[in-house]
Amino acid sequence: MKVNSKAYGPIEVDERQKIYFPSGILGFENLKYYVLLDAKQQPFYWLQSMDVVEIAFVLIDPAVFRPDYKLDVTKEELEEIGIKNKQDILCFAIVTIPENLSAMTANLQGPIIINRSTRVGRQSINTDPKWKVRHSIMKELASLRQETC
Amino acid sequence: MLILARRIDESIMIGDQIEVSIVDVKGDHVKIGITAPKNVKVYRKEVYLAIQNENIEAVKAKPDIIPALSNLFKERAKKSDEEKKE
């Protein structure tokens, strides 16, 4: 399957990389199909729209800089994308990258959750007010490492 | 938009499963109680808007950005390792 990607131009992707977002992503409700491009450069991923090449999100696994991150969403919300048990959950945070790269932030209030087996996803809203739309990845990574030293 | 006037302890039904009631009013501060089925999600509008705006900011990422981010990450890890040795 060929996809035109913002990061790498036209590329060949596996059918299994295709993810269906029945409700789209907030602000981009009309775009329902994405591909998850993993990561030659960990821990980052691209979530690339299959319909509009310019629409692509950088994702990170929140556990990389916040191992205490807890997905706080209702059972109903998980069932909406067919998730019945926790092993099916794949969770990412969207990264916002300003000009000063080290000030990049991750959105932990609106995580992207994907059903690993059916590859259906949604953007959820974390109900715990502790998690904000902008968490400084580098700062929180630094304080995490200090704690573990 | 439908506009209804309500007093404290009065409520409005939306369909037959959603009830919105006025719990308290103090100056410009209104406390609203909402009873709805579990599959109806209720959030403050600011939360929605904040996430929407953040998504719009996030798609501005430059296409060749990831190697630089990845390097930042590695540098940070290296620095931490050095700190550890000290």
Tens of pLDDT, residue by residue over B12-30, are: 999 999 999 999 999 999 9
- What's the average model confidence in pLDDT over A53-77? 91
Of the candidates A51, A41, A43, A42, the residue with the CA atom closest to the CA atom of residue A6: A51
| Residues of A in Cβ contact (< 8 Å) with B84 | 149
Q: What is the pLDDT of residue B56?
A: 97
- What's the average model confidence in pLDDT over A32-60? 92
SS3 content of chain B, % helix, strand, coil (to 5): 40, 25, 35
> B47–A125: do the CB atoms touch at under 8 Å?
yes
> B52–A123: do the CB atoms touch at under 8 Å?
no
The pLDDT > 90 percentage for chain B reads: 59
| Residues of A in Cβ contact (< 8 Å) with B59 | 28, 54-57
- Residue A130: helix, strand or coil by DSSP? coil
Interface size, chain A vs chain B, as Cβ–Cβ contacts under 8 Å:
104
- What's the average model confidence in pLDDT over B45-54? 94
| Residues of B in Cβ contact (< 8 Å) with A44 | 66, 69-70
- What's the average model confidence in pLDDT over A13-20? 95
Q: Which of B41, B58, B63 sits opposite A57 (nearest CB)?
A: B58
Neighbours of A11 (CB within 10 A): 14
A143 contacts chain B (CB < 8 A): no
pTM to 2 decimals?
0.87
Neighbours of A33 (CB within 10 A): 14
- Amino acid letter for position A133: V
The answer to whether residue B35 scores a pLDDT higher than 90 is yes
Distance (Å, rounded) from C-alpha A63 to C-alpha A26?
23
Q: What does the CA dihedral A8, A14, A15, A18 come to, rounded to 10 degrees?
A: -40
The pLDDT > 90 percentage for chain A reads: 77
> A57–B55: do the CB atoms touch at under 8 Å?
yes
Confidence of residue B41 (pLDDT cuts 50, 70, 90): confident
Distance from the B37 Cα atom to the nearest Cα atom in chain A, whole angstroms = 10
> A77–B58: do the CB atoms touch at under 8 Å?
no
Contacts of A28 (CB under 8 A, 6+ apart): A49, A55, B55, B59
The number of C-alpha atoms within 13 Å of A1 and in the hemisphere containing its C-beta is 11
B42 contacts chain A (CB < 8 A): no
Whether this model's ipTM surpasses 0.90 comes out as yes
C-alpha distances (whole Å) from A28 to each of A21, A56, A79, B39 are: 10, 11, 22, 22
Distance (Å, rounded) from C-alpha A67 to C-alpha B67?
23
A106 contacts chain B (CB < 8 A): no
| Contact residues, A window 60-79, toward B, CB-based 8 Å cutoff | 74, 76-77
Angle at A58 between CA A18 and CA B58, to 5 degrees: 120
pLDDT tens track for A79-131: 889 998 888 999 999 999 999 999 999 999 999 999 999 999 999 999 888 99
Confidence of residue A39 (pLDDT cuts 50, 70, 90): low
**β pairing state of B11-14 and B29-35:** unpaired
The answer to whether residue A27 scores a pLDDT higher than 80 is yes
Q: Mean pLDDT over all residues of chain A?
A: 91
The answer to whether residue B86 scores a pLDDT higher than 70 is no
| Residues of A in Cβ contact (< 8 Å) with B50 | 109, 133
**β pairing state of B11-14 and B18-26:** antiparallel
Of residues A5 and A144, more confidence is placed in A5
The pLDDT > 70 percentage for chain A reads: 96
Of the candidates A94, A141, A149, the residue with the CA atom closest to the CA atom of residue A121: A94
